[in-house]
Amino acid sequence: MGLTGYLLLAAALFSLGVFGVVTRRNAIGVLASVELMANAVNLNLVAFSRHHAGPTGQVFALFSIALTVAEVVVGLALVLLLFRAKGDVRIELASELKD
């Protein structure tokens, strides 16, 4: 499989992630969809790294994985905060703030 194959797979995963963010009503579902997007990017980075025959893309992917983990930690803490305050994690229930 050449570079194009990997790019198409990554683009498909990324689009699935975007679709999930737009349609999911559960905060954890949205969070998981964002992670899918981030992992699609990691796939891209590693494929490009092989294409350019250098370590840069792999290093970038490692950093991106670490940052994604940190993001999940903060995200789950915030979901927990919402659950404690509301007893539910559906985002359409979080609608106190509006114009």
Partner 1 sequence: MNLLFGLSPFLAVGVGALLLMLAEAFGKPNVAPGVETTDAGAGRAGELALGAAVILVIGAVLSVAVWVAGPESLPELTQVAPHLVIDKFTLFFSFTLCVGGALAALLAGGYLPEHGIDRSEFFPLLLLSTVGAMALSAAGDLLTLFVALETMSLGVYSLIGLRRGSPRAAEAALKYFLLGSFAAAIMLFGLALLYGATGHTDLAGIGAAVRSIGSPGSTVSAGKILISLVLVLVGLAFKVSAVPFHQWTPDAYEGAPTPAATYMAVAVKSAAFAVLLRVLLVGFGDERLASWGAGWPPALAVLAVLSMTVANLVAGRQESVKRMLAYSSIAHAGYALVGVVAAMRSPEAVSAVAFYLLAYTVSTAGAFGALILCGSRGAEAVSYEDLAGVGKRHPAAALAFSLFLFSLAGLPPTAGFFGKLYVFRTAIDSGLYTLAILGLVNSVIGAYYYLRVMVYLYMREPAPGAPRAVTMRSGFVATALVAAAIFVLLLGMAPGFTLDMASGAALTAR
Smallest distance, Å, CB 68 to partner 1?
9
Give the residues lining the site for partner 1 (CB under 8 A).
7, 14, 17, 21, 27, 30-31, 34, 37-38, 40-41, 44-45, 47-48, 51-52, 54, 56-57, 59-60, 63-64, 67, 70-71, 74-75, 77-79, 81-82, 84-86, 91, 94-99
Q: Provide the 3-class DSSP secondary structure of residue 59.
A: helix
- What are residue 90's phi and psi, to 5 degrees? -80, 130
Quote the CA–CA distance of 37 and 14 in Å, as a whole number: 5
Q: Are 43 and 10 in contact (CB under 8 A)?
A: yes
- Residue 80 CB, nearest distance to partner 1 (Å)? 9
